Amino acid sequence: MDVLIGQLTTGLSLGSILLLAALGLSLTFGQMGVINMAHGEFIMAGCYTAYVVQQIFSSAGVSLIVSLVVGFVVGGALGVLLEVTLIQRMYDRPLDTLLVTFGVGLILQQVARDIFGAPAVNVIAPEWLSGGMEILGAVVPKTRIFIMVLAILCVTVLAIVLKVSPMGRRIRAVVQNRDLAETSGISSRRTDITTFFIGSGLASVAGVALTLIGSTSPTIGQSYLIDAFLVVVVGGLGQIKGTVIAAFALGFLNSFIEFNTTASLAKVILFVIIVIFLQVRPQGLFTVRTRSLV
Amino acid sequence: MRGSVRLHRSSLKRSALAAGGVVFATSLILSGCGSKASDTEAAGGGGGAESCVDTEGATIKVGSLNSLSGTMAISEVTVRDSIKLAVDEINAAGGVLDKQIELIGEDGASEPTVFAEKAEKLISSDCVAAVFGGWTSSSRKAMLPVFEGANSLLYYPVQYEGLESSPNIFYTGATTNQQIVPALDYLKEKGVTSLYLVGSDYVFPQTANRIIKAYAEANGIEIKGEDYTPLGSTDFSTIVNKVRTADADAVFNTLNGDSNVAFFREYKNVGLTPQDMPVVSVSIAEEEVGGIGVENVVGQLTAWNYYQTIDTPVNKAFVDAYKAAYGADKPTSDPMEAAYVSVYLWKNTVEKANSFGVKEIQDNAGGVTFDAPEGLVTIDGENHHITKTARIGEIRPDGLIYTIWESPGPIEPDPFLKSYPWAAGLSG
């Protein structure tokens, strides 16, 4: 029973990590259709933001909260820079975007290596997040609970923004029908930039949170990039709820398979399951269905 | 118009999806290649060409071959630095057989095939008398045919999985019976009756764990579980959950690189302590402790042959010289010390043989000693490994590792574990 609860919470926590890593991508890739291979490096930028902010603030607790905000801005700014200089020129050429952003990712990795050095740096977790909390006999590290809460918070805020704010309505309008939105007086350029800012910012927020459980090194983004793409593709493009469900489904599947087999085998089995799933439902779990898009 | 828009949008989505597929495929292939490359052995070397080493001039050339770029650079640059330190010291003291040593540095770029190419270059175009370097087992395996083919010498300074011996390689790092087996002896002595094995998924941890399992079977130690994670893996919640449920007496850790950070943070956060279930690591040295965060590994154990804190005049001189050359905040670690030792062992062998010739060095190597920072080491003329003292260390809050147990004396190298009856089924 303990073990079951333990694995349930592990799945939940893994799911929220996946969700956090994929949330930004579900905007830039899912909504805008941009294949941003530098997404992992935006996560990495968040990790290093947390490290730099921690050098300024002595209290690990304060620096964590400050890093979340600063990280969002840093990541967003990087995203806007990438969008304005490169991506906006290739909205109709997804494969070129793939290569270009892959190159940008490599450049960002090298920049991090030159500034901070190749060895991993240590971001200290605040005292109030050390140790674990007992839930029905299973111990869950507090850092993981924090990440769960943060993931839920980010999804909720993003969903509300997209649903009710004028900016969110503009984003959805451009995603659903770019030409029609422009005809109605929406600047699709401005909307694209805003969307990219939010998506990239969320990637860096994920990075800040991930320093609590993992290492901070120049290649850290690579380990989350594939998972993030998996979540978005399985969830289906264009819908936040698909991303949420896919993240938790993959989290649970992974933790249960891994518990009964091994970490390497779990990855293989998970990939096989996803390949079969995409054969049956190439569009993913959910897809935007409107009359104009059928 | 509307029709064309519709077509455009849906085809964009579809191509985006297809491209997504390409992303996965590409990265799968890339990661596949990464692990493949390490298995690839480079083609044989020069085919026994005549040595072109110039022994007439006022200087003698030797090579250093370490990864100065790529993922391994983090560890190997420090090894290059300590090779250079040894060469500078020897030159300042008058050189070898009255010749100054000229060190030619090459970059192996973390790629086994590059190691093989650069080794070939050092031997046949720079005409060096010996090469010092290599780190990963795959880099060593790639260089081995080159050195055997050209009949030249390699000094390899890193602890490894054993089961190898070449007349053209001198191994100055520990083999398994000088690191893993003593660590198990120590645990057994402490009353450990069950172990949990955690490692990265590649050759060293797999081989190490095969040895551990054979030892455990012969000594009545129960193996409660065995888990491997892909290199670079960052989620350890499931594995730590398994470790916690299994409740073994100790954990034997052969994880490599960044994975250690995630593992130890998770380990500490679910409330496991070195008092309940100590973790013995064989790949965490002084340099890695900083990146993991010393607060996460305080009290955990390591198994090596050298620590910066060894309290002997020889070690103090080495540490001071290293810090003076490269910075006061730079720690010294086991592989760095083994590399430093390898240069001196070469010098002592050359002086005993009174020659830089490969055959003369091979004939005279047996019994050559050096008073190293880790204690007296002696070359074994048969298997070309060296005697080493095994040490179990504890990580303390200052980030350094302190010896808490050491073998009674230097242990004779036994790369094929021939003197251990329980290991009979392993070699091959």
What's the confidence (pLDDT) of residue A288? Answer: 65
CATH of A2-293, one of 3.40.50, 1.10.4100, 1.10.3470, 2.60.40: 1.10.3470
Domain count, chain B: 2
Higher pLDDT, B100 or B4: B100
Contact A262 B227 (CB under 8 A): yes
Q: What's the mean pLDDT in B254-277?
A: 89
Nearest CB partner across the interface for A124, out of B20, B71, B293: B293
| Residues B56/B59/B60/B65 CA torsion (nearest 10 deg) | -150
User: pLDDT at position B30, please?
Assistant: 45
How close does chain B come to A161, measured CA to CA in Å?
24
Please indicate, yes or no, whether residues B278 and B170 belong to a single structural domain of this protein.
no
Q: If contacts are CB pairs under 8 Å, which of residues 116-135 in chain A contact chain B?
A: 118-122, 124-125, 130-132
**pLDDT at position B425 over 90:** no
Residues 120-159 of B with CB under 8 A from A: none
For the ranges B92-106, B252-266, B307-321, B397-411, the lowest mean pLDDT is seen at B252-266
Residues B217 and B335 in one domain: no
Same domain, B198 and B137: no
The answer to whether the Cβ–Cβ distance between A255 and B10 falls below 8 Å is: no
Are B145 and B136 spatial neighbours (Cβ–Cβ below 8 Å)?
Answer: no
Does B330 contact A at CB distance below 8 Å?
Answer: no
Q: Are residues B132 and B233 in the same domain?
A: no
B48 within a domain of the structure (yes/no): no
pLDDT in tens, B15-53: 545 555 555 554 444 444 433 333 333 333 333 446 788
**Identity at B322, one-letter amino acid code:** Y
pLDDT at B29: 46
Residues of chain B positioned with their CB less than 8 A from the CB of A179: 5
pLDDT band for position A267 (50/70/90)?
Answer: confident
Q: Are residues B112 and B97 in the same domain?
A: yes
Residue A263: per-residue pLDDT? 83
Name chain A contacts of B266, Cβ cutoff 8 Å: 141, 213
Q: What is the pLDDT of residues A159-169, one digit of tens each?
A: 999 999 999 99
Is residue B13 one of the residues assigned to a domain? no
Tens of pLDDT, residue by residue over B190-214, are 999 999 999 988 888 988 999 999 9
The mean per-residue pLDDT over the stretch B94-118 comes to 93
Q: What is the mean pLDDT of residues B387-415?
A: 95
Average pLDDT score over chain B: 86
- Residue of higher predicted confidence among A222 and B252: B252
User: Which one, of B157, B182, B217, B211, lies nearest residue B417 by Cα?
Assistant: B211
Q: Does residue B203 sit in the same domain as residue B65?
A: no
Residue B235 lies in a domain: yes
Q: Do A35 and B71 touch (CB under 8 A)?
A: no
Asked if the structure places residue B27 within a domain, the reply is no
Residue of A nearest to B70 (CA): A118
B123 and B270 together in one domain: no
Q: What is the pLDDT of residues A232-264, one digit of tens each?
A: 999 988 778 899 999 999 999 998 998 888 888
Contacts of residue B223, defined as CB under 8 A and 6 or more positions apart, other chains included, come to B194, B195, B196, B197, B212, B213, B216
Q: Above 80 in pLDDT, residue B369?
A: yes
pLDDT tops 50 at residue B12: no
Q: For A8, which residue in chain B has the nearest alpha carbon?
A: B238
Q: Are B255 and B281 found together in one domain? A: yes
Give the domain extent around B413: 177-304+392-423
Q: What is the mean pLDDT of residues B143-154?
A: 95
Say yes or no: B196 and B297 in one domain: yes
Is A233 part of the contact surface with chain B (CB cutoff 8 Å)? Answer: yes
Q: Cβ distance B188 to B312 under 8 Å?
A: no
pLDDT top residue among B367 and B424 = B367
Token match 């804190």: residue? B309
Residues of A in contact with B110 (CB under 8 A): none
Residue type (1 letter), B333: S
Chain-wide mean pLDDT for chain A? 88
Nearest residue, CB atoms, A214 vs list B27, B239, B262: B262
Whether A253 and chain B come into contact, CB under 8 Å, resolves to: no
**Average pLDDT for residues B84-112, to the nearest whole number?**
94
User: Is residue B379 domain-shared with residue B266, that is, in the same domain?
Assistant: no
Report which secondary-structure segment, H or E, holds B132: strand B131-133
Which residues does chain B have within 8 Å of residue A217's beta carbon, measured at their own beta carbons? 258, 291
* CA dist., res. B142 & res. B161, Å (int): 16
What part of B 265-284 touches A (C-beta under 8 Å)?
265-266, 268-271
Of the segments A86-90, A103-107, A188-192, B46-50, which one has the largest average pLDDT value? A103-107
Judge whether residue A294 has pLDDT over 50. Answer: no
| Domain shared by B277 and B186, yes or no | yes
Chosen for mutation from B11, B23, B198 (greatest number of chain A CBs closer than 10 Å) is: B23
Report, as an integer, the average pLDDT of A37-51: 95
Q: DSSP characters for A87-138? A: GGGGTT-HHHHHHHHHHHHHHHHHHHHHHH-SSPB-PPPPGGGSSEEEETTE
Q: B196 CB contacts (<8 Å, ≥6 apart)?
A: B223, B224, B225, B226, B227, B242, B243, B246, B248, B250, B251, B252, B277
Chain A, nearest residue to B227 by Cα: A262
**Which of the residue ranges A66-75, A180-189, A272-281, B120-129 would you say has the lowest mean pLDDT?**
A180-189
For residue B272, give the chain A residue with the closest CA.
A131
CATH code of B147's domain = 3.40.50.2300
What's the pLDDT at B8? 45
Same domain (yes/no): B169, B68: yes
- pLDDT in the model for residue A134: 82
> Angle B23-B30-A40 (CA atoms, 0-180°, nearest 5)?
55
- The dihedrals phi and psi of B169, each to the nearest 5 degrees, come to -125, 135
Each residue's pLDDT tens digit, B220-246: 999 999 999 887 777 888 899 899 889
- The verdict on a CB contact (< 8 Å) between B238 and A13 is no
Q: Are A94 and B19 a contacting pair at CB < 8 A?
A: yes
Tokens of B43: 């083609």
Q: Does the beta-carbon distance from B20 to A233 stay under 8 Å? A: yes
Contacts of B293 in chain A (CB under 8 A): 122, 124
Q: What is the reported pTM?
A: 0.80
Average pLDDT over residues B256-262: 82
User: According to DSSP H, which parts of B248-391 are helical?
Assistant: 259-269, 286-292, 294-297, 313-326, 334-353, 358-364
> Nearest C-alpha of chain A: how many angstroms from B203?
14
* Domain boundaries, given as residue ranges, for chain A: 2-293
Average pLDDT over residues A166-195: 88
Q: What is the pLDDT of residues A185-235, one digit of tens each?
A: 888 889 989 999 999 999 999 999 999 888 888 888 888 898 899 999 999
pLDDT at A40 over 90: yes
Interface check B239 vs A, CB under 8 A: yes
